[in-house]
Amino acid sequence: MKRVIDLRSDTMTKPSPGMRQAIAEAEVGDDVWGEDPTVNKLEAYAAEMLAKPAALFVPSGTMANQIAVRSQTNPGDEIIIETDAHIVRFESGAVSALSGIQPCMLSAPKGILSATQVDEAIRPPDIHNPPTTLICLENTHNRAGGTVYPLETISEIRDVATSRNIGMHLDGARLFNAVCATGVAPDVYASRFETVSFCLSKGLGAPVGSLVVSSEARVARMRRIRKMYGGGMRQAGILAAAGLYALEHNILKLHDDHKHAKLLAQGLAKIPGIAIDEDTVETNIVIFDVSGIRQSPDDLLETLKNEGVLMSRFTPTTFRAVTHLDISHQDISDAMDVISNTIAH
Ligand SMILES: Cc1ncc(COP(=O)(O)O)c(C=O)c1O
């Protein structure tokens, strides 16, 4: 059978044999009762990595974000967030439905808000205004193409937040991609935020799970919200074992994903009809325009799929390819051969 090169998302990774072994050997207990030793170990490990007092293991990145937002807002509040952020674009309207807040959405180049932009969007105290209580940033920014928030910009936004007494949440679904791309330590990023979420099930290769880190008191509050949202899990140690394995073995492998993404971008840039700005490829996401190709984007995507290369449609004329743990150097060169041959015919 022909090998399928699945570049649709870094959520496509499958647990490796070593990870499956760790899952099989996990010690478990009832985590809703706080008795799962492997979950407790993972939460302690995550808290220490991000230098926060406590952490909470949750089933998904969406739940991590939504619990964090809920824990820092009251219904009728406003949160400041970039227009294309996952929290408002791809979480099914949850901030309004579950937290009763309204988002103040600001668009920004590469998904990176500036401190001035944030400052100007904060509502002055007035009975007519919703109180601005939270600023949410996303690092790396998925929809912008895996772009990295400069630490300096985050720090400037933090200064604004502190001076206006507003909390900050980081959607760090791909925080470790930012860590690998910049060399900035995870705890340095985390120190700028009250809450930080990150995913185990994307480039880190675990099948399920995210963590959200914060103070002891806020994690206790988030634990209660997790139960309310139906995210209390029982013998979740089998999932936590995969998460621990991912943190212990797979973080540095993200460097390979970034190299592969660059390689793919360089190859694509050489194909007539494809437009790509290689400088936008900062981590593991490659977005490119196919409007210069004779075939329609739908036909092209279908032909590539039939040839074993899977990518996703990003906009009517652009595709998205994401590199990950299950994509090798050889896969990238095979994918490039398929793409060039397909387009040449
Ligand atoms: C930036 C970002 N945040 C949050 C999520 C949500 O993660 P999950 O699919 O585990 O709910 C994703 C998923 O792709 C994401 O890219």
Confidence (pLDDT) at 1 = 63
C-alpha of residue 294 to centroid of ligand 1, in Å: 34
236 and 147 housed in the same domain:
yes
Q: Pick the residue whose CA is nearest to atom 9 on ligand 1.
A: 61
pLDDT at 318 over 90: yes
pLDDT confidence of 2, banded at 50, 70, 90? Answer: confident
What would the two tokens of residue 336 be?
């490039």
Distance CA 2, CA 251 (A): 29
Q: Is 142 in the pocket of ligand 1 (CB under 6 A)?
A: yes
Residue 268 has pLDDT above 90, yes or no: yes
| Centroid of ligand 1 to alpha carbon of 342 (angstroms) | 32
Do 28 and 153 lie in one domain? The reply is yes
Q: Biggest alpha carbon distance in the chain?
A: 66
- pLDDT, the chain, mean: 97
Q: What is the CA(230)–ligand 1 centre distance, in A?
A: 18
pLDDT for position 269: 96
State residue 95's pLDDT score.
Answer: 98
Token output for 18:
């070593």
pLDDT of residue 250: 98
pLDDT tens figures, 12-48: 999 999 999 999 999 999 999 999 999 999 999 999 9
Q: Please state, for a pLDDT cut of 90, what percent of the chain lies above it.
A: 97
> From the CB of 61, is ligand 1 less than 6 Å away?
yes
SS (H, E, C) 24-71: HCCCCCCHHHCCCHHHHHHHHHHHHHCCCCEEEEECCHHHHHHHHHHH
CATH number of the domain where residue 154 is located: 3.40.640.10
CA of 12 to the centre of ligand 1 (A): 13
Cα separation of 164 and 311, whole Å? 43
Does 195 fall in a domain?
yes
Range of the domain at 278: 253-344
Answer whether residue 8 is part of any domain: no
Residues 138 and 103 in one domain: yes
CA of 11 to the centre of ligand 1 (A): 9
**Mean pLDDT, range 290-297, rounded to an integer:** 93
User: Does residue 218 line the site of ligand 1, with CB under 6 A?
Assistant: no
Is residue 237 domain-shared with residue 259, that is, in the same domain? no
Q: What is the pLDDT of residue 343?
A: 86
Last residue of a domain, one of 203, 226, 249: 249
pLDDT of the residue at 184: 98
**pLDDT exceeds cutoff 90 at 137:** yes
State the total domains in the chain: 2
* Ligand 1 touching residue 84 (CB < 6 A): no
One domain for residues 120 and 264: no
User: Residue 303 belongs to a domain with what CATH number?
Assistant: 3.90.1150.10
